[in-house]
Structure 1
Amino acid sequence: MLLEGQVAVITGSSRGIGRATAIRMAQEGAKIVVNGVQEGGVWDVVQLIRNQGGTAIGVVESVASMAGGERIISEGLREFGKIDILVNNAGVVHDKMAHKMSETEWDLVLNSHLKGAFACIRSALPGMRERREGSIINMISVAGLTGMIGQLNYSTAKAGLIGMTWTLSLELESYGINVNAVSPAARTDMTMPYIERAKQTAEMKGESFPEYWKVGSTEDVAELMLSLCLPRCRKVTGQIFSVNGGKIGVWSPPEHRIVATQSSRENGWEAGELFEQVLSAYVKV
């Protein structure tokens, strides 16, 4: 029982990757706080865990507000007395090209991903810091690492979670708390429409199915999440992992290189000079 005696809060765990992670951690002895906004989905997972001999409670609550995140954590503390593991998995998508995106669509996505993670983290940290142990995993996406057309709100939220991961790993390392992020590729309710659309587009063009959309299962992701929370892995922190079926990857922070220098700073840079010396090398063709 790899997580015997541990308590795990997994937001957005009524379906998809969160559900698979909750079930897998429960199988290894963790007491689980299952969360989602649909009561039926939450209690289905709770009952499944209990039927398998595990321990779980359900909290039907949105993470999109500070009060919501605080309630999820407080319910876990009230029931189990501590929080050892926090997986910030909850989130929504509202795809739209930037010039058509409404303020509501922007706020819904930023709040569910970014504010939701912060709300839960802020509430869970006092206990973790006091005990000087804990694991936090932020669920991110390749959209936040490379950008994605039509997903300005989603890409921004996921990029924010990457910065949150790096900063928290620095702040909390001395407290024995590791903070990592996972960028998954898996067949879920959220990804299946994109996969089907890619298949249809490939068929219409007479092309083979794009390799990018050949993705693994939610169970593959859950196994990596479990591994990152093992007590022996607490020294692994500040990392951005990807998982797609049998492939595990690691993203590196952006590289900074000096690409031009001036021997004299009397006159400073000139715009035309900057283009010739620096910017022309990055013109897209």
Structure 2
Amino acid sequence: MKGHPAVSNTRTDLTGKVAVVTGSGRGLGLAYATALAKAGASVVVNDLDEAVAGQAATSITEAGGTAVAEAVAVGTTEAAERLVDRAVSEFGRLDIIVTNAGILRDKVLWKMSDDDFDAVITTHLKGTFTLARAAAVRMREQGEGGSLILVGSPAGQRGNFGQTNYAAAKAGIAAFVRTWAMELGRAGITVNAIVPVAATAMTETIPAFAPYIEANRGGEPLPDFLRKGEGFGTPEDCAALIPFLASEAARDVTGQCIGIGGDKLALWSHPQEVAVAYADGGWTPETIAATWHSSVGADPQSFGIPAPKIPGA
């Protein structure tokens, strides 16, 4: 019989667990919240827009899940505590957070204003920090472990033109993962980042992807060169990773940045030394210049997100 092998779902069953998913009114966030609810978790849906948050929660409950809406802009301690308090008051506990809320203010460095920078850093980086802190306090009090699932981006792993603020925030989130996995391990709290690639309002502006995304809306499947070659698919393709990371099946998975999109699942490397050289007594500018291109600088690291490989282009 062809198809996927039979796998028991008992270790990925989230019945009795409670999750908060920020920015889950639409797009990837809604896919994450829906996947958690399908796995049995009760979910606090969050969006800045009260109507959008309410509609998202209703869509989950109408499908047989359990969800409530909490409309608040992330980025402050007050908002974070409000989300945690809502989970506890509504469902009695907190086990999972997914820090998905985000905005874009794309500009090249010399045109980016303080407001452009601060708004993105506040939502992505400070929003992740404040909610993770509030959740960690609650989970440690409960004494039963938990899961912090932070949302990263290829831009944070590689850099991206015009995204000083966004790339910096997402790179900081990857650093959060490595730090908090150490700090929270003894409490049984896992910390991981998901690095999703999917057709969203953010990615549909990429000219190379736009026609395929539009065709997909009309019912055409995305081609293999996108789903496999680029690891690019729908929000629902990315959502499967969230219940897994929140489940007993991933109790030993922590401190990782994990990519998912289309048919592709990937583990991102962490920064590490890739070449070293030594000079007795230390280095001078002259000795570095004399040896750079034949020693540590012989194979410089690449940067930026690679351009999509479009067949026939």
TM-score when normalising by structure 2: 0.82
1: CA distance, partners of 2:231 / 2:146: 34
Q: Which residue of 1 aligns with 2:147?
A: 135
Q: Which residue of 2 aligns with 1:181?
A: 193
Q: Counterpart amino acid of 1:52? A: A
2: CA distance, partners of 1:171 / 1:200: 42
Q: Secondary structure at the match of 1:237?
A: coil
Counterparts of 1:4-83 in structure 2, within 5 Å, are 4-83=15-94
Which one of the candidate residues 236, 242, 257 is aligned to 1:240? 257
What displacement does 1:126 show?
1.8
Give the percent of matched residue pairs that are identical in Structure 1 and Structure 2: 38
Seen in structure 2, the aligned counterparts of structure 1 residues 214 and 164 have a Cα distance that, compared at 3 Å, is: closer
Residues 250-279 of structure 1: per-residue CA shift (max 9 Å, x gap): 01112214521123x1xx422122022125
Q: Which residue of 1 aligns with 2:158?
A: 146
Q: Which residue of 2 aligns with 1:206?
A: none
Over the aligned positions, Cα root-mean-square deviation in angstroms equals 2.1
Query: Structure 2 stretches of 5 or more lacking a match?
Result: 1-9, 212-224, 302-313
Residues 109-155 of structure 1: per-residue CA shift (max 9 Å, x gap): 00000100111111111221132310011100010111111000000
Query: Does 2:179 correspond to 1:167?
Result: yes
* 43-52 or 109-118, larger mean C-alpha shift: 43-52
Query: Does 2:14 correspond to 1:3?
Result: yes
Query: Does 2:291 correspond to 1:277?
Result: yes
Seen in structure 2, the aligned counterparts of structure 1 residues 214 and 125 have a Cα distance that, compared at 3 Å, is: closer
Seen in structure 2, the aligned counterparts of structure 1 residues 199 and 9 have a Cα distance that, compared at 3 Å, is: closer
1: CA distance, partners of 2:76 / 2:53: 19
- Asked if structure 2 preserves the Cα contact closer than 8 Å seen for 1:14 and 1:42, the reply is yes
- Asked if structure 2 preserves the Cα contact closer than 8 Å seen for 1:198 and 1:213, the reply is no
- Asked if structure 2 preserves the Cα contact closer than 8 Å seen for 1:14 and 1:35, the reply is yes
1: CA distance, partners of 2:39 / 2:168: 34
Query: Structure 1 stretches of 5 or more lacking a match?
Result: 202-209
Q: Which runs of 4+ in 1 moved over 4 A?
A: 210-214
Structure with the higher helix share, 1 or 2: 1
Q: Counterpart amino acid of 2:232? A: V
1: CA distance, partners of 2:73 / 2:41: 23
1: CA distance, partners of 2:197 / 2:114: 28
* 251-260 or 30-39, larger mean C-alpha shift: 251-260
Which one of the candidate residues 221, 225, 234 is aligned to 1:217? 234
TM-score when normalising by structure 1: 0.90
Q: Counterpart amino acid of 1:72? A: L
- Asked if structure 1 preserves the Cα contact closer than 8 Å seen for 2:35 and 2:242, the reply is no
Q: Counterpart amino acid of 2:130? A: A
Q: Which residue of 1 aligns with 2:244?
A: 227
- Asked if structure 1 preserves the Cα contact closer than 8 Å seen for 2:231 and 2:263, the reply is no
Seen in structure 2, the aligned counterparts of structure 1 residues 232 and 274 have a Cα distance that, compared at 3 Å, is: same
